[in-house]
Chains A and B, each alone.
Chain A
Amino acid sequence: AQTVTQSQPEMSVQEAETVTLSCTYDTSESDYYLFWYKQPPSRQMILVIRQEAYKQQNATENRFSVNFQKAAKSFSLKISDSQLGDAAMYFCAYGGATNKLIFGTGTLLAVQP
C-alpha cells in the first residue's frame, strides 16, 4: 500500500525568506502523480502544485516549486519570497492507479512578519 510521510509537523519562516517543506512517499507503482495542497484558516483546500512522475522536470507555479527525486521517493515544496498569506497547513498527496488520493499528516507553516 502507498504511504505519504510529512516529518515536519510545524515550520516557521520570515516574510520574504525561502522555506522548504519535506514529503516522502512509498509506492511500487511506476505511474503516479504527486500534489501539494494548501489549507488556510478558511479551511478551503487549494491545489498548489502538481507533478507527474514520468516527467523529470520539476513543476513550478510562480513562487512555488518542487524538488522531485523519484529514486529517493521524495517530493519537497519550496516557497520563495514567503508572504503572510502563505501561512497555512500544507498537505502532500499521492495519486496512483486507484484514483484515491493518499495524504500526509500535514505541515503547519507560520510566516513571521
Chain B
Amino acid sequence: DVKVTQSSRYLVKRTGEKVFLECVQDMDHENMFWYRQDPGLGLRLIYFSYDVKMKEKGDIPEGYSVSREKKERFSLILESASTNQTSMYLCASSLIAGGGGYTFGSGTRLTVV
C-alpha cells in the first residue's frame, strides 16, 4: 500500500515563526498536494506539484510556499505564521492524473498562538 507520512500530528507555533510541514510518500508518485481543511469549508488546495522542483499555486496560496527537492518529499512552508493559519493540513499524492484519486496522509493540526 502507498503510504503518505506527515511528520507531525500536532504542532503549536507562535505568530511570526517560520513553520515547515513535511510530507513523504513511498510509492514513486509524481503528483503531490497540500490541502487545508476547515469546518464548513471542506478541503481547499494550497499548492501542488507534478514533478521535482515543479510547483503550482492552488486556490489559497497566500502566506504559503512549497519545496519539492526530491520526488518523495513535498514540504509546505508558512513564511510567517499567523493565527488565521490555524487549521488542519492534509498532504496527498497520486500517480494517475485525475482518475486515480489521492492517497492522503493523516494530517497535521497546526495551532498558531
Contacts and interface: CB of A to CB of B under 8 A. Distances in A.
Interface stretch (B12-20, B38-46, B66-74): B38-46
A39 to B, nearest CB: 8
A43 B88 CA distance: 10
Interface stretch (A13-21, A59-67, A77-85, A92-100): A92-100
Contact of B40 (A33, A37, A95, A105): A105
B-side interface size class? 20 to 34
A25 interface: no
Contacts of A35: 101
B34 to A, nearest CB: 11
Interface in A71-113: 91, 93, 95-106
B26 to A, nearest CB: 16
A33 B99 contact: yes
Which of A32, A33, A95, A97 has its CB near the most chain B CB atoms (within 10 A)?
A95
Which of A42, A50, A52, A99 has its CB near the most chain B CB atoms (within 10 A)?
A99
Interface in A33-57: 33, 35, 37, 42-45, 47, 50, 52
Nearest to A106: B42
Contacts of A33: 98-99, 101
Contacts of B99: 33, 50, 52, 95
Contacts of A6: 42
B101 A50 contact: yes
Interface of A: 6, 9, 32-33, 35, 37, 42-45, 47, 50, 52, 91, 93, 95-106
